[in-house]
Chains A and B, each alone.
Chain A
Amino acid sequence: MSETDGNDVIMTAEKVSKIFLVGAGVRAVDDLSMQVREEEFLLVTGPSGCGKSTLLSLLGGLDRPTYGEVTLRQQKYSDLNENGLAQLRRTEIGFVFQFFNLLNDLTAKENVQLPMRLIGKELDFMQERSEMLLSQVGLQDRMDHYPFELSGGEQQRVAVARALANEPAVVLADEPTGNLDSRNSAEVMNMFTRLNRETGQTFVVVSHDETAIDYASRILHMRDGAIEKVEEG
């Protein structure tokens, strides 16, 4: 079912299914249709194993649907080859993962510069923007630290700064607080809402944490690979 309509739609999933060929086949996402509006903070929630993360992978072009179509700004993913999807990810999508997924060989600043380097930005620009972003997430004093020198909350903030580096159309966060304590979880979610409010950045956050509902502008409840209900926050 389509849970919303509107002219400000930035991303859509149309009758999307994802079947993993394990045993008799697992239908992780089942004929799901949804839309993401520009500048919204969309929370996808539901019990473990309901297909939230798989949906996020499909939206982010990390995986391809078995059936159906995903589009971002009218660009159909099925029209893109692997390189095309990679190009789309580097310019239009920012990722925040549960386990931060920072490169341990790089400092916080270098991690933030990675997406910019991939699109060929100048060094001065990268320096300036990475410092600005890290300051924005409160890490101005930790820029030259390596991930293993940072706490979980700090690492996640670096990941958020990295996700914002190329001013993506949408930031996809997969259980961003799943590996954090309640204080750090609240900090990260507050940061999302602040960035969403201040910069108009679109966020799609997957979380099974009930408290995350308080931060979202719209909530999409999933069960068994399908959308159960949609709430306005």
Chain B
Amino acid sequence: MRKRNGSDDSPEKSDFVSAPEMLLRPVVRLAKTWTRENLQFVGSTWNKMMPYSLKSIRHRKWRSGMLATSVAVTIVVFVLFTSFYNATETAFRGEVQEVPMVADVAAYFPSGWSAEEVHRFNFARDAAAFDVGYRAKIYSSFGYEFVIGLDEGAFEPRSYPDGQRGDAHVTEGIELISGRWPQDSSEVVLPGGEADYLPVQTGDEFGIQWIDGEHRLMKQEYEIVGFFAVEDPLLDQPITRLPEEGQDLGPFTLLQAPQEERHIRPGGNLALFRSGNPQAVARWIQERHPEVQAITPMRGQEMASGLFWQVFSGGRLVVLLVMVFSALGVLNVLLLNFLERRRDMGIFKAEGTLNNEVRIMLMQEGFLMAVFGVTAGVVISWILVTVLDAYTLTPYLLSPITLLIAAVAAISVFYLGALVPAGMAQRMTVNELLYRRNIV
């Protein structure tokens, strides 16, 4: 009769292992590890095996370096994409609602203008942004066309005098930093410094006084319902006209004609109109400009959402592919390391290293390489995002959560990747490791 010898280390093997069981095994093993006794064992083994793990990494410095680099690059790609996505989505979703406004109506310019695709996107996005009240302005051409949306500007890194930094949406001199309107006149500088400005927003009432040859804004007479631009971004031509008193402005109400044609607010003249009847506005637009489609802000937001997801789904796919290939690379290198060192594992075991110690050593090597790669990736990402955000027009919003996710994901990939060779090393006998080749 064949004598069976005890082994608490090598569970009974069956020929078939179900997929759920395969997935659950590491989880169960991990749960087991989280006992006090095992933690102590892991801790002492960690210290005991550290010199060997470090030596192994150092002696394979090129391979380890390449692996860490690939992980770092993956993290950089992930963090850059996520930061860009976050910044864009933040702007798009209007998470910073500094200018609470409610749109009565949005207008959508249908077109076959291929060159206007961008305009359409911008407008739909802007309309949606307006709907949630972020960086929104009313573009009004005083009775000719009426659209709602963001002015065209650029994101530039700026800071307020109080040190608050952020992306400034710059247009014609106004700076909206991190979604905050200027708090006092010193925060707004017009080209040429021709006027001072009060912090105003929709719903404010104000008047204009001529003091020492300059316009000064005072909150008293007029109600601000929005802002309009010198140039309509959609029509790409100057359309600002000052209405005359008594002029038929359709459904708009002229409270008082401006004193002169000039910017009295950076980014556009103050609009002195209010529509009390959005349906009438829509009708008015349709009658005079049938090519312009009046839509609800909600519809505009839907359209913008569709475009937004289209744009980013491609990027997501690319990032996902990069991460998958990186994970496969990690697994490949860790497996290669093990196959190259299977004799070493046999020696370790022959000298009395416990199966779990061998497993922990291999996991430790994977973890250490992950730490090198993750550290490099996080630092490089942070520097890149900061520099790009500060010195380019593209906004980036780096959140600690993003870095944390990247770090945890990378370490998890290493952990999972190291499970395969560590499991093999743990299961195999000394003789299998030292002398037999058919181990995979």
Residues of A within 8 A of B (CB): 57, 60, 62-68, 77-83, 86-91, 95, 97, 101-106, 110, 114-115, 117-120, 162
Contact = CB atoms under 8 A, between A and B. Distances in A.
Contacts of B429: 62-63
Interface string B180-212: 000000000000000000000000000000000
Interface in B328-354: 343-344, 346-354
Given A89-B351, A118-B351, A83 B8 contact: yes
B48 interface: yes
The 9 residue pairs across chains A and B that have the minimum distance between CB atoms: A90-B352, A82-B9, A89-B352, A62-B430, A105-B55, A105-B59, A64-B5, A81-B8, A81-B6
B56 interface: yes
B5 A95 contact: no
Given A101-B343, A105-B59, A115 B9 contact: no
A68 B10 CA distance: 21
Contacts of A64: 5
Q: What is the interface residue range for chain B against chain A?
A: 20 to 34
21 contacts: A57-B431, A62-B429, A63-B431, A66-B2, A66-B3, A78-B3, A83-B354, A86-B349, A87-B354, A88-B352, A95-B351, A97-B350, A104-B344, A106-B52, A110-B51, A114-B351, A117-B51, A118-B48, A118-B351, A118-B353, A118-B357
A105 B64 CA distance: 14
B121 to A, nearest CB: 57
A83 B352 CA distance: 8
Contacts of A89: 350-352
B3 A82 contact: no
Contacts of B8: 81-83
B301 interface: no
A52 to B, nearest CB: 14
A100 B5 CA distance: 29
Contact of B48 (A65, A80, A117): A117
Given A65-B3, A81-B6, A83-B355, 13 more contacts: A57-B431, A63-B430, A82-B7, A86-B355, A89-B351, A95-B351, A97-B350, A103-B347, A104-B344, A105-B344, A106-B52, A110-B55, A115-B351
B434 interface: yes
A83 B431 CA distance: 16
A103 B344 contact: yes
Interface in B397-440: 429-431, 434
Interface string B58-88: 1100000000000000000000000000000
A103 B361 CA distance: 15
A207 to B, nearest CB: 18
Interface in B1-53: 2-3, 5-10, 44, 48, 51-52
Nearest to A119: B352
Contacts of B357: 118
A60 B431 CA distance: 11
B56 A105 contact: yes
Nearest to A65: B3
A101 B435 CA distance: 11
Contacts of A78: 3, 5-6
Nearest to A54: B431
A178 to B, nearest CB: 14
Contact of B350 (A67, A95, A105, A106): A95
Contacts of A104: 59, 344
Nearest to B358: A86
Interface centre among A62, A91, A110, by most chain B C-beta atoms within 10 angstroms, is A62
Contacts of A117: 48, 51
Nearest to B1: A67
A82 B10 contact: yes
Nearest to B353: A118
A97 to B, nearest CB: 8
